[in-house]
């Protein structure tokens, strides 16, 4: 059971395996103990996001089980945000919600992304994890999605 900011949730076996695999790939690295907890949470979030992306790939290739895979992706990326509150994870969540054809909910989530992004001040760890994302493009996409009918 994970407790983050008074929220309790349990990772599924698949999610926990993804996190463990990510941690295992870094087991020989040394990190500053002052940032170990924050880094551990950020790594867990990254692993969950990668797991979510895998679920989306599976949804794209297995149309019969698309809803099952997209639901797993939505849940995993929500947990990722709980571990490491990067607004870009809200953007990912919105795209996965949109894949479920929940357009109104997706638009609301895109707006939540824009709101969070406008207040976001990344620290060093967040900046490191954001290197793989284009936040400027995500902002433009979110605005476009909200404006569309």
Could you tell me the residue range of the domain that residue 15 belongs to?
A: 11-147
C-alpha dihedral sign at 77, 117, 91, 24: negative
49 within a domain of the structure (yes/no): yes
Query: How far is the C-alpha of 37 from the C-alpha of 141, rounded, in Å?
Result: 33
Torsion of CA 4, 23, 16, 10, to 10 degrees: -10
113 within a domain of the structure (yes/no): yes
4 within a domain of the structure (yes/no): no
Find the CATH number of the domain harbouring 66. Answer: 1.25.40
6 within a domain of the structure (yes/no): no
pLDDT in tens, 123-144: 988 998 898 899 999 999 999 9
Q: For the chain, how many structural domains are there in total?
A: 1
102 within a domain of the structure (yes/no): yes
> Helices (DSSP H) in 62-134: which residue ranges?
66-83, 87-99, 103-119, 124-129
User: What pLDDT is recorded for position 38?
Assistant: 85
- Is the pTM for the entire model greater than 0.75? yes
């Amino acid at each position: 059971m994970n407790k983050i900011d008074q929220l309790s949730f349990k990772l599924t076996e698949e999610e926990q395996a993804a996190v463990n695999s990510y941690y295992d790939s870094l087991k020989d690295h040394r990190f500053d103990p002052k940032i170990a907890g924050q880094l551990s949470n950020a790594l867990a979030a990254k692993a969950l996001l990668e797991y979510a992306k895998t679920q989306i790939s599976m949804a794209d290739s297995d149309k019969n089980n698309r809803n099952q895979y997209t639901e797993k992706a939505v849940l995993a990326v929500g947990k990722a945000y709980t571990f490491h509150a990067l607004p870009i994870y809200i953007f990912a969540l919105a795209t996965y919600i949109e894949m479920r054809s929940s357009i109104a909910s997706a638009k609301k989530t895109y707006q939540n992304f824009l709101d969070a992004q406008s207040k976001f001040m990344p620290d060093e760890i967040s900046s490191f994890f954001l290197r793989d994302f284009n936040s400027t493009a995500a902002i433009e996409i979110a605005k476009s999605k909200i404006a569309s009918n």
